[in-house]
Structure 1
């Protein structure tokens, strides 16, 4: 099967491309480094040529809520129009649990992207995921000061990047469901406690303070629960597995 991975050089995309190729599929990587711009459409015709499915794991980063929203609206419209033109049979998008209800930051931007997909007329599957372990680490890092680390009192169920990529591959190889699926890691944590574990593992002993006003991916979440019953199996990557990998010497 020929599949185009949009954002195929990023954190999730690179792992997804490796998994697809290892399974014997033809993969076209659509990214700026491969000459593809999904905002302007440059290079999209080539990237989509002959593809049966598209998996979109693109992201502009998480620093600015307005820029995130603008990116997903513009890139989504451009990508979906190009897919319609060539008759893509299945569009898969990596989204976020909470996108439909939070209405702020990254989650607002992802919900805007989801609405574009649902209204495009292209057969689709949206995979909403709990945060990746790496993204949890980044969110914790964003709350650091010299004296402390501030995080919101949310509950999270982080998933390993390899597991998320594997689910996206499995979904793309199936028939589109024209609906939302969820995926989550095997264990849930209160974010302040999880932050302490991650920081301690990295020998950072600053106190972790619970702050309902602290942002998470650009959003104020209060006591939001980013969890799901749709967890990967208990044999899949846990916090301990991720920490061993993340802290391993380069």
Structure 2
């Protein structure tokens, strides 16, 4: 197969790229680095000629609902238009478990993306996954207050990004399936516990505190709804196993 990956240099995208290549597929990474502008659509349609499936793992660092919705609607529309023009027969999008009632912040953008995919003309699959183990590293950067790490209250069931990437390639190989089974991690966790275990594992001494933040977005994260449902598929790599993996980031 020839598989295009939008966002192929990101946290999940690089694992999807590696999984597809390891299985003998021809992989096309769509990014500005490779001459494809997802937000303007420039260069997309010609690049997708001959592509069998497109995996969309695009993302952005923003908690603004307005910016997130604008980004995901624009990128998804551009990808759909290019796929239609080039004859791509399968659009696979990555979304997030438990966000149906969280039309706020970044999750509002992901819901907009889902609506665009399901309302488009290209046969589709959507995989909803839990937060990644890598989330703990991202929080350390975003929550830095001098030497202190402020960690939002978050009840999650994290999954390794490499397992999400591999699952997306499974879906590409299988064909359009609509909403596929959600994918979550093997254990319920509290985000601050993950951060503290990661710091201890890495031999870093840094004070951490858990903070409760206002707003629908943060209340949802603290509620446990993003742990998904009991019927979800489960990844096999625990957070502590992930800490010991080579090339962890």
TM-score (norm 2): 0.88
Correspondence 1:196 to 2:196: yes
Root mean square deviation of aligned Cα: 2.4
CA contact (8 A) 1:186 1:231 kept: no
Once the 2 structures are TM-superposed, how far is the Cα of residue 169 of structure 1 from its aligned partner? Answer: 0.6
Once the 2 structures are TM-superposed, how far is the Cα of residue 63 of structure 1 from its aligned partner? Answer: 5.7
**Runs of 5+ unmatched residues, structure 1:** none
Equivalences for residues 1-250 of structure 1 within 5 A: 1-62=1-62, 64-146=64-146, 148-213=148-213, 219-222=217-220, 223-225=222-224, 226-228=226-228, 229=230, 230-233=232-235, 236-245=236-245
Distance 1:45 1:164 in 2: 26
Distance 2:195 2:10 in 1: 24
TM-score (norm 1): 0.87
- The count of corresponding residues between Structure 1 and Structure 2 is 245
* Residue deviations 1:47-97 (CA, integer Å, cap 9, x gap): 211111110011122365433222111111111111122232111011111
CA contact (8 A) 1:136 1:158 kept: no
CA contact (8 A) 1:102 1:108 kept: yes
Distance 1:112 1:29 in 2: 23
Q: Judging changes above 3 Å, is the alpha-carbon distance between structure 1 residues 172 and 72 closer, same or farther for their aligned structure 2 residues?
A: same
Once the 2 structures are TM-superposed, how far is the Cα of residue 20 of structure 1 from its aligned partner? Answer: 0.8
Give 3-state SS (helix, strand or coil) of 2:94's partner. Answer: strand
Distance 1:119 1:7 in 2: 22
Distance 2:76 2:111 in 1: 11
Distance 1:79 1:239 in 2: 34
Distance 1:72 1:41 in 2: 13
**Runs of 5+ unmatched residues, structure 2:** none
CA contact (8 A) 1:150 1:214 kept: no
Once the 2 structures are TM-superposed, how far is the Cα of residue 247 of structure 1 from its aligned partner? Answer: 8.4
